[in-house]
């Protein structure tokens, strides 16, 4: 299937509410963490379980990305840009709203 077909299928099946998809993202992340607690290199079944959960997590990220009108390639480029930028400036594109709220509250 093409990515556009997959996105259309996900939209039809799961809707386009980012809030609801974030709930699913949390669920899939939890399942990935459970799978990671096993020694994934001990046997093929453990590794297969881990990869399966990673694929589920990726599918939800793909769907959220598509709902927002972006692609995973764009997200990857954005992340790579930060890594490169932070080699020169550790604060490159670094935003921490919770820290700003704490500073404001303390003033």
pLDDT tens track for 1-21? 999 999 999 999 999 999 999
pLDDT tens track for 47-106? 999 999 999 999 999 999 999 999 999 999 999 999 999 999 988 998 866 555 555 555
pTM summary value: 0.83
DSSP string, the chain: --HHHHHHHHHHHH-S-HHHHHHHHHHHHHHHHHHHTS-TTT-HHHHHHHHHHHHHHHHHHHHHHHHTT--HHHHHHHHHHHHHHHHH-TTTT---HHHHHHHHHH-
């Amino acid at each position: 299937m093409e990515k556009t077909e997959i996105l259309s299928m996900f939209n039809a099946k799961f809707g386009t509410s980012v809030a609801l998809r974030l709930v699913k993202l949390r669920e899939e992340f939890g399942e990935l963490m459970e799978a990671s607690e096993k020694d994934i290199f001990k046997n093929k079944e453990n590794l297969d379980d881990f990869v399966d959960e990673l694929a589920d997590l990726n599918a939800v990220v793909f769907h959220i990305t598509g709902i927002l009108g972006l692609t995973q390639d764009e997200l990857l480029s954005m992340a790579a840009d930060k890594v490169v930028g932070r080699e020169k400036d550790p604060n490159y594109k670094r935003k921490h709203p919770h820290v700003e709220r704490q500073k404001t509250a303390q003033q």
